[in-house]
Structure 1
Amino acid sequence: MDKAYLQRPTARAAQLRAATKSQTPSGRRDDESNCRSETTDELNKFKWENTYKMDPDNLLSENLVQSTMRQAIKELIAGEDEDFLETEGRGHLCAKLTDDIKHRIKTEYANTRYRFIIHVTIVQDFATFSIGSRCLWNDNTDNHMTVSIPFGDSYIVSTCYAVYFE
C-alpha cells in the first residue's frame, strides 16, 4: 500500500481550508458574521486515513514503564521530609504525580496507539487497603504495571493501564 495514501487528510481538512479562505481578517466569514467559524488551528489537526492495523509494531515494555513511574515519583519526593504529605496535601500530590507520570510515559511512547490511564493512591502505613480493578481488553496487546514506593509513614501506589487503541 502506498504510504502517501495512508497519510492523506480527509475531506474535512479540505472543507476547513475552504472555510478559512472566505474569512475576514477578524476571523469571521463574510456570509455569517454572527456564526462561530473554524480557526486555522483546526487545519493542523488532520484526521488520518485508517490503516486497519490490529496489532502494535512493538509491545509495551513493562520494565521501561515501571522505571519511568518509579523515577517520576522519586524525583517529586526527593529531598522532602515526612511532613511534605501533610503540608502539600495528598490529593494535590496524587494529581501532580498522575499528570507527571502520564506526560513522561506519553513522551516515551509518542508514536504508538497506546492509551494510558494512570491511577495514583497514597496510603498510610499499617492501613488496611485493597485495590481492585476490572478491564475489558485484549490480553495480547494490553497491559498494566504497578509501582509501590514507601515514603515516610505512607506508601505511594501508582498503576498504569496501557490499552492499545485499534
Structure 2
Amino acid sequence: MAAKSPRRKPALTTTFEDSGMSNSRKLNSSISDGSESQRSRTPNCSCQLENTYRLQPEGQGRFQRETVRTLMLQTLEGKLKDVEYDSSTCGDLSTTLTNEIMFQIKQCHWERYKLVVQLFVGQDEKQGIQVASRCVWNADVDTSACVTYKNSSLFAVASCYAVYFE
C-alpha cells in the first residue's frame, strides 16, 4: 500500500517588464562575468536625451484596471480549465501563464508603465489562503489588478502591478 504523498508546494512566478518606453530612450546593456573591461560594457550613445517632464499619463494613456482583470481572467480560464494539479509541471505552467499575461497586457500599449505580473498556482484541497501585498507608490497614477481562478484541483491568483515611469 502506497503512503500518502506529502502536500505539494505551490508554484510562484514573477515577471518584471519595462513597458512603453520609446526606442530612443532605451539603452542596451549586458550582464558580464567580470572578464570584460568597463569600457566595453558601457553602451556607445552619441545621442543626447532630454527630459519629458511628464508626471502623469496623457489622454487615454492611463492604465485601465478592468481591462487587465478581464485579460488575466480570460487567460486563466482558457489555459487552466481542464488542467489537473501536478507539482512537477505547475512551475513551468506558472511561468508560461505569467509570460502570456504579460504579453497580452503589453498589447494594450500603455506608455511609460513598468509592469510586474505575479502568478501563484496551488493545489486546491479546500484550504484557506490569503494573498496580500503592500506597495509604496503614487496613488494617482500607479495601480494594480488581481484575479482568482479555481477549478476542481487547483487555484490560481494573478496580480499585475503598473507603476508609472516619470
TM-score by length of 1: 0.65
Describe the SS at the equivalent of 1:144: strand
Distance 1:37 1:105, change over 3 A: same
Describe the SS at the equivalent of 1:138: coil
Runs of 4+ displaced beyond 3 Å: 34-38
Aligned to 1:150: 150
Kindly report which structure 2 residues correspond to 1:105-124, keeping only aligned pairs within 5 A, or say none.
105-109=105-109, 112-124=111-123
Aligned to 2:64: 61
Describe the SS at the equivalent of 1:89: helix
Describe the SS at the equivalent of 2:146: strand
Residue 139 of structure 2 corresponds to residue 139 of structure 1: yes
Q: Tell me, in whole angstroms, the C-alpha distance in 2 between the residues paired with 1:156 and 1:77.
A: 9
Q: Tell me, in whole angstroms, the C-alpha distance in 1 between the residues paired with 2:40 and 2:135.
A: 40
Unaligned runs of 5+ in 1: 1-6, 13-33
Deviation at 1:148, TM superposition (A): 0.7
Deviation at 1:77, TM superposition (A): 2.6
Bigger RCO of structures 1 and 2 (CA < 8 A, at least 6 apart): 2
What is the count of residue pairs matched by the alignment?
131
Kindly report which structure 2 residues correspond to 1:68-147, keeping only aligned pairs within 5 A, or say none.
68-78=71-81, 80-82=82-84, 85-86=85-86, 89-109=89-109, 112-125=111-124, 126-147=126-147
Q: Tell me, in whole angstroms, the C-alpha distance in 2 between the residues paired with 1:138 and 1:161.
A: 12
Distance 1:81 1:93, change over 3 A: closer
Aligned partner letter, 1:66: R
User: Which of the two has greater helix per residue?
Assistant: 1
Distance 1:151 1:88, change over 3 A: farther
Q: Tell me, in whole angstroms, the C-alpha distance in 2 between the residues paired with 1:113 and 1:72.
A: 24
Higher Cα Rg, which structure: 1
Q: Tell me, in whole angstroms, the C-alpha distance in 2 between the residues paired with 1:116 and 1:146.
A: 13
Aligned to 2:165: 165
Aligned partner letter, 2:77: K
Aligned to 2:4: none
Calculate percent identity across the aligned residue pairs. 29
Describe the SS at the equivalent of 1:131: coil
Deviations 1:89-129 (A, max 9, x none): 2211111111111111112125x011111110113331232
Aligned partner letter, 1:120: L
Q: Tell me, in whole angstroms, the C-alpha distance in 2 between the residues paired with 1:124 and 1:87.
A: 8
Deviation at 1:81, TM superposition (A): 4.1
Describe the SS at the equivalent of 2:107: helix
Q: Tell me, in whole angstroms, the C-alpha distance in 1 between the residues paired with 2:88 and 2:79.
A: 12
